[in-house]
Structure 1
Amino acid sequence: MKNDRREAFIQYLASKNDWCTATNLANYFKVSTRTIRKYVNEINEDQLVIASSSQGYRLVSREKVKADNHYTSPINRIKVILKELILHTEGLNIFDLGDKLFLSVSSIEHDIVQANKMIKPYHLKIRHKKDTLILIGEEREKRRLMSFIISQETSEEFLSLKAVQNAFPNYDVFTLKDEIVSILEEFNLYVNDYIMNNLLLHLVITVDRIKNNNSVIHSSDLNKLKRNPETEAANKMADLLEDQYGISFNESERYNFILLLSSKTTLLNYQSLTSSSLNHYVDEHYVNLSQKLLKKVHERYFIEIIDDEFFVKFTLHIRNLIFRAKNEQMVKNPLTYKLKDSYPLIYELAVFISNQIQLMENIHIKEDEISYIAFHIGSYFERKKNLVKKIVCAVICPNYYDMRLQLIQKLERKFHDSLEIIKVLSDSSEIALLEQIDLIISTLPIKDEQTPFIRT
């Protein structure tokens, strides 16, 4: 690009001080829109930077662009490039990609060299032919790569107790945890750290929502729920929160909370709620809707989410979200902007899901609600990533006084970093109910079992 043409282009954008479409710029300079894209990429290699969006182009400072851009680090840029190439099987125009990421063509070409090194174990390769980039390889490898990219975005801080406390400073989350653990022990129940953090987040959000007069109201029949340790514990927790925060759990709120607490692996009990029994307690419309949403995620992003615990919690959340949207109830999420900035790919998945819900249910979903969907998606990938590092274990132990709880707590204390207990059973006849178990620890004899086991 000649210096006089470059200067004229910059001066024109500076004089407009607003967004200019590629078509208007092409007409003014009597060139094609493709040439305009080339101008922008060449200029972006210098000190001045031209931002781009669906509105066109605008002259801004490089500092401003960096502040607005989620993908400034090389590794984040590479992940976004790979994600876009997986989704666009027909290939991507390198100039369009440059516009999206505020990058010059030379920067993208450098990132592609690094990306090809990163995806070599997946037997994939990015080909650059003329102005088009395309990802070559087997579809199943692309699926593996997409799952890896998104799971790498989560961290141990995604749903840590500290993160929950920081998000809701008006609540003493650490004290609440001690009180919840005490109630669970009273009913001889146990949850691991991951599920405890998830549970505390749900409780704090629920209390905050009720305090702001946004209670859920469904036609709920508490008599449909079996009287068992889970229902007793859930009711006692609700009573505790009512006393501490001066709120009232209506029948619908209690019903939702008992269902949440009874989901398959939330409390380690083989009689707990599962995805197959969910339609006995929740309108089948919402169960089918959740299945459709996850199917669309699979079709669009090559990600298959198969997990009973996730499905139960996701379905309950979607049902309540739709209720709030139809009744124009506002739920604030103090972590909305952090989620968007720190976990852009997970947030993108949440936006996709919310868009699908809006189309299917003819409702409007606000940004804070999208962030809560992102919590569910991010928690799933965080847990999935952590389980890869651990031995997934089931414990078989009779529920005799507090023997079961003492055994589980002892195992958890000693093998916290290497063992994940996801199921607790009463006797060996229930082994057939287990899925994806690496190890069984049992106080009872086991016969003809293929899974490795330890007798204690």
Structure 2
Amino acid sequence: MLTSRMKEVISIILESGNYVTVQQISDQINVSTRTILRELNDVQNWIVKHGGALDKKKGKGISLIADETVKSKLGKLLQEEVSEIIYTPMDRQVILRAQLLQYNEPTKLYTLTQLLDVTESTIGSDIAQLEPWFNQYNIELIRKPGLGILIDGDEKAKRKAIVALIYEHFHVIDLIDFIKEKEHQPLDVRTLKENINQSIYELLHLDSIKYARAFLMRLEENMGYQFADNAYIALIIRFSMTLKRKDFWNQLYIDSKTRGQIETDKIFHLLQNWVSESENNPFRILPKEELIYLTMHLKGSKLRQTGEYNKISMIEDFKVIQLVKEFIQKVETETGIYLSDNDKLIVGLVKHLRPSIYRMKMDLDIINPLVEEIKSMYPKLFQTIATCAKVIEEKEHIQIPEDEIAYLATHIGAVIEKNHREIVKKYQVVVACMYGIGASQLLVSEIERNFSNIHIVRVVSVIDQDVEAMDEGTIDLVISTVPTESLTIPCVVVNPVIKEEDIKKIREALRRYKPNTTHRQVKNKMALKEKLIALEQYSHIIMKVIDNFSYDKHVSVKTMIDLIHYISTSLSSNQEEIAALSKAFIEREEKGSTILMKKGMQLLHCRADIDKGVCLKVIRLTDPIIMEQASGFVPVDTIIVMVGPVVLNQKILEVLSEISRNIIAGGFADIIKEGQIEEIEFELNTLLDKYYQSLVTGI
């Protein structure tokens, strides 16, 4: 039986029409001349068997001796010949990387020549090409004469390299059918193994995938959020790889400060409880250090951009919001496009940067499967964002990798594409994208830019059942980055970064299908009741804020602890509430204070269950308290207190965030600072009235 490499050699000889040298053949196939010479006898035997012959002349090379009939016959037989698999140079690179990442001990060259069926010379050439790849992860390739080859580097660095290798070797959608929850379809690990290169799946513990998936589902339920699809898949890979690295668990180093922070985190405790619940759980054997490592990645994962999860808190995200605004101002300077009033952009960037900054500070890898496509298709935008991102680097003392630059570029690019465009909305379209907020918005913008008759209703998940659960009466078309099953609504599959071929496919779908307006009026009427219920809930929360508003002046305290005790006592109806409030305020302040330095004001907020439920309080101090900040010491003489229940529903958070937004970005702070109680109450009522009116027209 011919090998695939022998078939290549015969094909080159057939097509040459003249003499061809061994060197020329080896150059084309990218192996050594010794490898070609070793297989030349088998090549000659096959040609002779089927009626041809080889002429070998020193200094000239090899030529086929055969008439046109025999040549034609050889060509057909060659196509029909079933061959043994011979690894391409690219295949060998993947296998060598995987082999070296699996072991700490040297791997002998002889072992590699047997594994890949090439000469030591070819292996030597392949290894020389590996060094730059390993160097980018601060991993050194070491040759030990007589012993073999090994790599040396930090265990975290090796894990970064493993994840990068997995993403380089296959597209994440190759795993999606195995990872996503499918009714009546268990995870088929055997099929997964058949579709992934042996050397790659050796880096993963595939039998653990179903357990990791179960934990992520539980975590989402407990925490009240959902991971973005690409983050979800990355976490499955991370869990599976961590279990496979059992021999290297003692080599993972996490500093004591980070350990202390993670060990008190709710996610860590959920993970710790989960692994100990069942003796069948393969993750039960993970040491504490590895649980901390996984928690770091869980905390740094992106959340999904869908309705309920698309909100941010002006209080809790204050620092990130300020950072995003500075970044946007820099982008405005570089591009000449005004972006500061784009709330959707700000929300998207805050939700994206919150976990991304955490990942960069924790030295966790950031992988963007679309980075090369974005650099290629939007080179000027990519360079502009790289320049503007220095604002974030300087403020946060981090270095932003190209993968993260590409994510930021998709956010900004989506808005620039959409700038000053009017959309005629006819077709109701849902976009199913797995690459996070920025990439999905860029895809949406490209669709809307090319199709004035499309209205994007929403962006949904391709992992969960969001796509299959859509109402046919309200949706005309689905545009998805991966194929979807069990879908009766027309669907067009496109690339994540939209190309000309995708535009043609969408245009053809629009010609084939007509907008469906039959059931929409009924749907809108049915939605009216839901809108009225939502408005009633908002109204109740706003009334609570107004009724529970209080203003205290000439308050004398010396320390933050004194202030917290004063506030807790004034807002509580019993000792139990005082203790709960004090504890909640102290815990919140330990995470960092929200100070408006130029105004000498502090936003003090917490979550605690008290009779008042939701309340707002303004305190003016007789003498300022000196607060320590990164930039120095700041005198604070005005305190704005906000309290919400422990289980803080989204509507309460939105109302309190609207008040905070007017304090931070509007003129409400000046009135609180200088005005009388009547003026403060009037302004509070005015801003809440405007907010309620916007809800009436916007819901």
Q: In which range does the TM-score fall when normalised by the shorter chain?
A: 0.3 to 0.5
Query: Quick check: which has more Rg, 1 or 2?
Result: 2
Flag the structure with more relative contact order, 1 or 2, with Cα contacts below 8 A and sequence separation at least 6: 1
TM-score (norm 2): 0.26
